[in-house]
Amino acid sequence: SQQGEEDPQALSIQEGENATMNCSYKTSINNLQWYRQNSGRGLVHLILIRSNEREKHSGRLRVTLDTSKKSSSLLITASRAADTASYFCATGRGGSYIPTFGRGTSLIVHP
Amino acid sequence: KAGVTQTPRYLIKTRGQQVTLSCSPISGHRSVSWYQQTPGQGLQFLFEYFSETQRNKGNFPGRFSGRQFSNSRSEMNVSTLELGDSALYLCASSLGNEQFFGPGTRLTVL
Chain A residues near residue B33 by CB distance under 8 angstroms: 98
pLDDT for A1: 43
Q: Is A100 on the interface with B (CB under 8 A)?
A: yes
- Catalogue the E-assigned strands of chain A: 4-7, 10-14, 19-25, 31-37, 43-50, 55-58, 61-66, 71-76, 85-92, 100-101, 105-110
- Are B20 and B75 in contact, with CB atoms under 8 Å apart? yes
Q: pLDDT value at position A42?
A: 87
Please write the tens of the pLDDT for every residue from A38-64: 987 889 999 999 999 999 999 999 999
Rounded CA gap, A97 and B92, in Å?
A: 13
Distance from CA of A35 to the nearest CA of B (A): 10
pLDDT tens column, A66-106: 999 999 999 999 999 999 999 999 988 766 567 888 889 99
- Return the higher-pLDDT residue of A4 and A36: A36
pLDDT at A96: 59
DSSP state of B84: G
pLDDT computed for residue A105 by the predictor: 94
Of B42, B88, B99, the CB nearest to A99: B99
pLDDT (0 to 100) of residue B34: 97
Residue B86: partners with Cβ closer than 8 Å, 6 or more residues away = B38, B107, B108, B109
Contact between chains at A42 and B33 (C-beta distance less than 8 A): no
Assess contact for A74 and A34: CB atoms under 8 A: yes
